[in-house]
Chains A and B, each alone.
Chain A
Amino acid sequence: MNARTGAPDPRARAEAFLCGACGATRVAIERWERLSGGAIQENMALDALVEGGPFAGKQAWVLRTNAASAVAVSRSRAEEFEILRVAHGAGVRVPEPLFLCRDGAGADFFVMRRVPGVAAGHRLSKDDSLVPDRAALARELGANLARLHRVRPPLAALAFLGDPPADHARAAIAAYRDDLDRLSAVRGEAWPALEWGLAWCERNAPAPRTPRLLHRDYRTGNYLVDEGHLAAVLDWEFAGWGDAREDLGWMLARCWRFARPDREAGGVGSAQDFLAGYLDAGGEAVSADDTRYWQAMAHLRWAVIALQQAERHRSGSQRSLELALTAHIVPELEQEILDLTAGTS
């Protein structure tokens, strides 16, 4: 117990909770170490010694909770835990979600199995020793996504996701325009190249498809590769219902290729292998026009998010060098949008 605030020590709180959750007689956390975290979530690596019950023995876990500085949280930890459970149940490679703590004695957290591997995009795109068989990894990424996209609404466990959009593309375009209007009002700027891209996407919007469960940030940097193979997909806080082609376009977008822009599938493999893996695992076929369309949408979405992140810095709500630099990614995204859209009406 922290004498000054009365809040329980987080480590002791986790031990007590895990002891009950595992049906153990005793849980001792031997390693408690902060992993690289985001502005919203904090991940702790846990090595625990469990005595008694089905989890008896040494356990390697990750505890995920809100960061102390958490701003507007996209999904609660409880919701993210449910999403992970659904994805795991669908055969998607994720860290297995184990226990959710909502004891009210502090921020909610959940515990999942710790998966070994490398996530860093610049390493996975550059270093062939990490990915000796790039075709195999690209196919695994595609197949894994197809398994996720088998999940369709409605699903009681994911009721908090709300209703799927009737027309994902048009709903997204309207949302990005609202976002730009809000940014414009506070920054006094406007973004004609992004407006061009949105107008093009509106004119070329494809017929809607049956909604699926999307990850919505399925890209290099958000999955672990261990011994050359896909080990687990991370960061599910943006998941939602929508058009499966959005996830494909996000993975294939040039802005997520790190050191290897020539490798279309996230800088780690070819689009051909990625899409073949997707199709073979039951994913719905996409045309070249679909791919181009959702690549353009990916750059538009990232441009809007980048401007929002930069605004957090500019407004003073969260001063950060990384957020400040994000604004300077936007011109490259604009160039890519022009390249993708200029050739066709």
Chain B
Amino acid sequence: MKVEPSARDLLEIARATLVAEIAPALPEAQRYGALMAANALAIAGRDLAAPDGGAAETARLAALLPGWSPAGDGQEILREGTARLAARIRAGAFDEGPDREALLAHLRETVRARLATSNPRALARGEGTAR
């Protein structure tokens, strides 16, 4: 048995302690560094908690890449599919028509998942907000 509390819990309490107790006691120049460290702990915690969307993302990539048959759904396969998609976009394969809409739906989904870890506050902003 591993010792509890777990990595996630430790990251969360370390982050909360930095923000609530340590940062306010620091001079301004060091406070910024402490808040950056707190942000890094928050990202790490969300990364650990994130659902593994690798299989679903690989399936979406396969649907966008005719002729590509992923052998499994591991990280390496996901990297390969992502690289293929990037190259196809650059070649202009998704410039118009239904392929374009399918690509944008995939990109939205992927960016949402990336934001859920990196910056969930930006997620809350939603799509197509006024600027």
B57 → A minimal CB distance (Å)? 11
A199 CA to B37 CA in the complex, in Å? 36
Q: Nearest chain B CB to A74's CB is how many angstroms away?
A: 24
Contacts of A343 in B (CB 8 A): 128
Residue of B nearest to A324 (CB): B40
- Nearest CB in chain A to that of B37: its residue: A321
A193/B110 contact (C-beta < 8 A), A325-B40, A328-B119, A339-B128 known: yes
Q: Which listed residue (B110, B128, B131) contacts A264, Cβ 8 A? A: B131
Q: How far is the CA of A264 from the CA of B122 in the complex (A)?
A: 17
Distance between Cα atoms of A295 and B115 in the complex (Å): 20
Chain B 29-48 interface 0/1 with A at a Cβ cutoff of 8 Å (1 = within):
10001001101100100000
Check B131–A196 contact: CB distance below 8 A. no
Are A331 and B114 also in contact (CB < 8 A) when A192-B82, A199-B92 are?
Answer: yes
Q: Which of B37, B107, B115 counts the most chain A CB atoms within 10 A?
A: B107
* B56 within 8 Å of A (CB atoms): no
Q: Is B26 an interface residue (CB 8 A)?
A: no
B88 to chain A, nearest CB (A): 9
Q: Interface residues of A: mostly helix, strand, loop or mixed?
A: helix
Q: How many residues of B contact A (CB 8 A)?
A: 36
Q: Closest A-chain residue to B93, C-beta based? A: A199
Chain B: minimal CB distance from A249 (Å): 12
A321 in contact with B119 given A203-B95, A339-B131 (CB within 8 Å): no
Does A30 have its Cβ within 8 Å of any Cβ on chain B? no
Least distance between A342 CB and chain B CB atoms (Å): 5
Q: Are A338 and B115 in contact (CB under 8 A)?
A: no
Q: Please tell me if A198 contacts chain B, counting CB pairs below 8 Å.
A: yes
Q: Is the CB of B95 within 8 A of A335?
A: no
Find residues 80-131 in chain B having any chain A CB closer than 8 Å to their own CB. Answer: 82-83, 85-87, 89-90, 92, 94-96, 103-104, 106-108, 110-111, 114-115, 117-119, 122, 127-129, 131
User: Can you name the residue of chain B whose Cβ is closest to the Cβ of A271?
Assistant: B131
Asked whether B82 lies within 8 Å of A196 as measured between CB atoms, the reply is no
What are 11 A-B interface contacts by the 8 Å CB criterion? Answer: A36-B29, A189-B79, A195-B86, A195-B90, A196-B89, A329-B118, A330-B118, A331-B119, A332-B115, A335-B115, A342-B128
Taking beta carbons and an 8 Å cutoff, which residues of A are in contact with B?
36, 177, 184, 188-193, 195-196, 198-199, 203, 254, 261, 264, 295, 321-322, 324-325, 328-332, 334-335, 338-340, 342-343, 345
